Amino acid sequence: MLRIGMLTSGGDCQALNAAMRGVVKGLTSKVDDIEIYGFMNGYKGLIYADFSMLTAKDFSGILTQGGTILGTSRQPFKLMREPDENGLDKVEAMKHTYHKLNLNCLVILGGNGTHKTANMLKEEGLNIITLPKTIDNDLWGTDMTFGFQSAVDIAANTIDNIHTTASSHRRVFVVEIMGHKVGWVTLHAGMAGGADIVLLPEIPYDIDVVTEAIDRRIATGKHFTIIAVAEGAISKEEAKLSKKELKERQAKKKYPSVAYKLAEEIRQRTDQEVRVTVPGHMQRGGSPCAYDRVLATRLGAFAARLILNQTYGYMVAIKNGETTKVPLEEVAGKLKMVDPNAGIIKEAELIGISFGRRTKK
């Protein structure tokens, strides 16, 4: 009898269901005697033994379905070692649930925080396999995460739709894209949508360079500008602050978000009308795109192969177009950032996209 547990943790995204389906179809194609325990709402389900017994039929017809059939929640890693409000030791509770159900393996789908906890559970002696889920594409050790391309498509479509109204009214539009710590979605959506200025957390912006880019467009007869800004973008001045100082400044919440702050800075320096668009959680929603369906299915199938071979303690990854495995301890706590000097950045600058920094001629 093969017994596996599954849970989805952290923010939801497209193709979670497709990935779980890949795991289950891969296992059931080789094993007849299998029990599947679906833990509800992320690590909460594992902590409080909130689970459902599932069969292969439960994973049929969910390839194109967004969200997650198991539900999800955010459980900060830094609080995992702290007892809950009733004094329950969360780590011991998770281990107890795992052993009580006599699981052979726990399959965890999630992003950075999720992988820290997954690695901790591995170090506590549990058999763990993880899959790289996040729209941010910031998990170290994999070229791509599922959910990313779907989010890029939605964000790029938003920018596409802004073009006509921006040009009609000769306005500056600031489109705020998800991404607190990294700018992969903003970078790809900005390039795909034809944004004129792209601002990323990894490249602190100079507001003077931003307004100069707007003025250059006006001087060449282009009376509108589209700015794609990551929600975690910061200015040059903010980049000089310590983490504590920056957090204190942001806590004052003079503006709802960076897009509104940027819009006000542009208004003060130009005579342009500025509007803000925030697609928000739309970027996480809806059906996964075809690319993510294929990627999630491949990763899920490879995870099934690892389980069948009793190879545990790894995150399934995609590198150079091929599925592979990466030790959890190498993934946990690491972010895959956008390199400010990467080829994609230089190529974008070559075609005229401004990243809010001065470049050498």
Around Cβ 60, how many Cβ atoms within 10 Å?
11
Taking phi first (over 0 means left), then psi (-120 to 50 degrees means alpha), and beta for anything else, what does residue 9 get?
beta
Active-site residue set: 136
Helical residues (DSSP H) of the chain, grouped into ranges:
16-28, 43-47, 90-100, 112-123, 148-169, 184-193, 207-219, 236-239, 243-251, 258-269, 290-308, 328-331, 343-350
The side-by-side arrangement of strands in the sheet containing 274-277 is: 197-199, 225-230, 172-177, 274-277
CA distances from 314 to 45, 50, 210, 321, 349 (A): 22, 25, 43, 18, 38
CB neighbour list of residue 244: distance below 8 Å, 6 or more residues apart? none
